[in-house]
Amino acid sequence: MLDLLTSHFNAVFTSLRLRGKISKGDIETSCEQIRQALLESDVALEVVESFVAQIAQRSIDALALIQPGSNQAKAVFEVVNSSLVEILGGSARRVRFSKNPPTVIMLAGLQGAGKTTLAGKLAKFFADQGNTPLLVASDLQRPNAVTQLQILGQSIGVAVFAPEAGNGVGDPVKVAQAGVEFAKAKQYNMVIVDTAGRLGIDVELMKQAGDIRDALSPDEILFVVDAMIGQDALRTSQAFLDGVGFDGVVLTKLDGDARGGAALSIASLTKRPIMFVSTGEKLGDFDIFHPDRMASRILGMGDVATLAEAAKAAFDGDTSAKLEAKFASGQDFTLEDFLDQLQAMSKMGSISKILGMLPGSGAMKKAIDSLDEGEIIATKSIVQSMTPIERRDPKVLNGSRRSRIALGAGRAVSDVNNLIDRFSAAQKMIKQVRNGATPAGIPGMAGMGMPAIAPKSAAMRPKKKSKSGNPAKRAQEQSQ
Amino acid sequence: MALFSKLIAKLKRENSFAPADWAQLEKELLASDLGPTLTTNFLSAAKKVKSDNAEAALLEILSNNLALTSREPIVVPGTTTIMVVGVNGTGKTTSVAKLAALYKGSGKSVVLAAGDTFRAAAVEQLRTWADRIGVEVVCGKENGDPASVAFDGAKAAQASGADFLIIDTAGRLHNKNDLMAELAKVKRVVEKLSPINEVLLVIDATTGQNGLQQAKIFAESVEVSGVILAKLDGSAKGGIALAIESELGIAIKWVGTGESEGDIAPFDPNAYIKGLIS
């Protein structure tokens, strides 16, 4: 997602950086390019016009203020970045919990936006944090929406309140109300109400949504919207704002290649924060939305904060501590450690997802997309086909062991050789890092995919420290 | 000034309506999700049309861009096999039901294949529709192989000599290569038994510029022969469908206009185009 915006913004700033001194004309040209990029990314026309006018004015103001000779392109970049963060709603907002449980969350949106799936994801998200959510099936319109919610609830172990079978029968307002009563009686601390999809111009159904709201007075009403929506985002979000009102927005299907303009349109028009994004068909594919990180991504600065969080979650404390201790005590990094790292890394998601969060990844987008995820699996299978002794000490790997491993992993012997060569190179590198006293950085990140990726990018490898020609000085260096 | 701009227009062989008219039309085309590139192209083409007013000129260009392909639904002797595809949440299952009701209503026999084995309760959703309409539906297991369900559907349709077999498929984002490969497999497997005559891509009328990419990739993997423009009863104009038709040559064949089984109609180009700029 956002690739198109990112690449356009990249182009704009690359040409601005080459300028050195930026004139009003340059800003106008850049703004026209930005306008085009935003329109192609489905940002609503009105929003595009006001946004572009705003950054043009702010850039001119900013350039008038800065010292001559300082970096002008950087000043413009900061203007655009802060304007993007501002339009996207500043900092991330969390769900407000009610002082008197249950906290009631109501979902609303167009047909097919992904409300029912999202209800399941929200329930899982909050259940994982120790809450006790109850799902309420108030979509009585779409055939078997109730069954769908029941199946989702079952798969995540969350209770579903569904007194009506749906399929056009039953009163969604009564179901929602009874659901909240049920939650109070049974001490659930949270209620998530799924509702039927409705069009913004459907007066009757909008009134029904309003009735559900009035009956429940929910703590949060979330407007669920498909990230692929186009210019209609404006009309529809306005209609829902007028019809039910909402406190926050959830963008779904962000794992597609949608250009994400809806995020800008809706946030800017409704002044309601985007609170969550949904990024896949599995119930765990769900994130809190961070406007600043989104702006970074649009501007091609990557999303290191999310990456670091994902890493922290995936590499559990024990593994990292063990590895750090090992690192400090001067022991070798073995294939066993490597396997731990690979496994932790798969927990973080696909390699392309991880690389996509790095700064400048927009430029390597094609390469990232064509990355073979299978290689990681193949690498894992090779290590898993080794005995513990072999993993600890690859030196024992003679020809017959290697061919046995290749057979076990279903790979060619050359693949095994290749892995071991790359691993030895990585091992050497780690020794150098240790001796060169470069800080280990994020715990556990040191080994991240090293044999698989590091040899391809020289930039990520620490340079070997040059040794002094003076023996006394060299001894001093080495003792450091 | 006006005289001067008329003169320039004449020299450029353009017609000479007030720039404000064009600006207004540009706004409307953009707001209909036609996209900036196509909007610019259409407007510059319209400026070269000899016409009484800007809007008429534009309407002419728009209809020229629509009239490229036949939008007759494909019907063959024996069983006509239709596969319905699209990204998540566009309304595939509902469209399948509507088509089934339409054909059933005209006295044809219809068999449905519940090929969305992925989403929770999607099979149930189609089964409920089939019961309502009164047509046969072939279901497999949830999380089963969609290709085998579709194949069983084709077998059942052949056995009963049905006029139509309509295969529902799971929603998939077009950038997921594995899922697109799965879809191609469904088609391949069914075609071992009988050819798929029509592949209909369901496009949500609210879709933005991404719709073009959806159509491109779905067409690459399963040879899409027509578009169902769903949810056109909302405030969205569905301009992306025109972009799809004019850029990829895939005809818009049906429009979906509501949640009941009768809410489907053959695509009406004139009404659609007028909707785009009103």
The 10s digit of each residue's pLDDT in B226-237 is 999 999 998 899
Report whether A289 contacts A92 (CB < 8 A).
yes
Does the structure show a pLDDT above 60 at B70?
yes
Angle at B23 between CA B22 and CA B28, to 5 degrees: 95
Assess B128–A contact: CB distance below 8 Å, yes or no.
Answer: yes
Residues of A whose CB is below 8 A from B207: 228-230
CA distance A103 to A95: 9
Residues of A whose CB is below 8 A from B125: 142-145, 147-148
Touching A: B residues 152-171, CB under 8 Å: none
CA distance A189 to A134: 8
Q: Which residue of A has its CA nearest to B257?
A: A199
- Name the nearest CA neighbour of A357 among A305, A292, A312, A282: A305
Q: Between B100 and B16, where is the model more confident?
A: B100
Report whether A153 contacts A159 (CB < 8 A).
yes
Residues of B whose CB is below 8 A from A151: 120-121
Per-residue pLDDT, A479 = 53
Per-residue pLDDT, B230 = 96
Q: Which residue type does A333 have?
A: F
Assess A33–B contact: CB distance below 8 Å, yes or no.
Answer: no
Alpha helices in A195-334 (DSSP H): 203-216, 232-243, 261-270, 291-298, 304-314, 317-329
Does the structure show a pLDDT above 50 at B251?
yes
CB nearest to B91's CB, from A111, A232, A281? A111
Q: Which residues of A196-234 are buried (b: 16+ CB within 10 A; e: fewer)?
A: bbbbbebeebbebbbbbbeebebbbbbbbbbbbbbbbbb
Residues of B whose CB is below 8 A from A41: 209
- Name the nearest CA neighbour of A137 among A121, A152, A157, A155: A152
Which residue has tokens 């309003």?
A210
Residues of A whose CB is below 8 A from B235: 199-201, 232, 235-236, 239
Q: Which long-range contacts (CB under 8 A, 24 or more apart) does B19-27 make?
A: B21/B53, B21/B54, B21/B55, B22/B47, B22/B54, B25/B54, B25/B55, B25/B58, B25/B277, B27/A45
Alpha-carbon B87 to chain mean position = 12
| Torsion, CA A386, CA A387, CA A389, CA A391, rounded to 10 | 30
Interface test with B, best of A206, A225, A228 (most B CBs within 10 A): A228
**How many inter-chain contacts (A to B, CB under 8 Å) are there?**
143
CA distance A329 to A406: 33
Contact state of B235 with A155 under an 8 Å Cβ cutoff: no
- Name the nearest CA neighbour of A120 among A104, A107, A102, A111: A107
CA distance A162 to A436: 63
- Name the nearest CA neighbour of B229 among B254, B247, B197: B254
CB nearest to A236's CB, from B118, B176, B206? B206
Alpha-carbon A113 to chain mean position = 19
Per-residue pLDDT, A344 = 72
Contact state of A256 with B174 under an 8 Å Cβ cutoff: yes
Touching B: A residues 399-438, CB under 8 Å: none
Digit-coded pLDDT (tens) for B161-211: 999 999 999 999 998 888 999 999 999 999 999 999 999 999 999 999 989
Assess B270–A contact: CB distance below 8 Å, yes or no.
Answer: no
Per-residue pLDDT, A309 = 65
CA distance A5 to A366: 15
Band of residue B8 on the pLDDT scale cut at 50, 70, 90? low
Joined tokens for residue B260: 């009941």
Which residue has tokens 């994004």?
A277
CA distance B66 to B89: 26
CB nearest to A113's CB, from B27, B89, B127? B89
Distances (CA, A) of A84 to A65, A237, A274, A354, B108: 21, 20, 13, 23, 56
Q: Mind giving me the DSSP string for B41-101?
A: HHHHHHTTS--SSHHHHHHHHHHHHHTTS--PPP--SSPEEEEEE-STTS-HHHHHHHHHH
CA distance A466 to A152: 59
Joined tokens for residue A445: 């990140």
Report whether A101 contacts A191 (CB < 8 A).
no
Domain annotation for chain B: domains and CATH numbers: 2-66 (no CATH), 80-276 (3.40.50.300)
Assess B71–A contact: CB distance below 8 Å, yes or no.
Answer: no
Domain annotation for chain A: domains and CATH numbers: 3-88 (1.20.120.140), 103-290 (3.40.50.300), 307-460 (1.10.260.30)
CA distance A316 to A314: 6
Query: Quick check: ipTM above 0.95?
Result: no
Q: How far is B96 from chain A (nearest CA, A)?
A: 13
Q: Mind giving me the DSSP string for B132-176?
A: HHT-EEE---TTS-HHHHHHHHHHHHHHHT-SEEEEEE----TT-
A103 DSSP 8-state letter: E
Per-residue pLDDT, A463 = 45
Q: Which residue type does B276 have?
A: L
> Both ends of chain B: CA-CA distance in Å?
30
Contact state of B210 with A199 under an 8 Å Cβ cutoff: no
- Name the nearest CA neighbour of A423 among A387, A399, A455: A455
Residues of A whose CB is below 8 A from B120: 147-148, 151-152, 155
Digit-coded pLDDT (tens) for B203-250: 999 999 989 999 999 999 999 999 999 999 988 999 999 999 988 999
Distances (CA, A) of B116 to A14, A372, A400, A441, B93: 46, 28, 48, 46, 9
- Chunked mean pLDDT (size 10), chain A, 480 residues: 71 81 86 87 89 91 80 84 82 85 95 93 94 95 90 94 86 95 95 94 92 95 94 92 94 81 87 89 87 74 62 64 70 78 70 64 60 75 89 87 91 89 80 60 39 39 51 56
Strand ranges inside A97-187, DSSP E: 103-109, 133-138, 159-161
Per-residue pLDDT, B256 = 95
CB-based contacts of A355: which residues, under 8 Å, 6+ apart? A361, A364, A368, A371
Does the structure show a pLDDT above 50 at B137?
yes
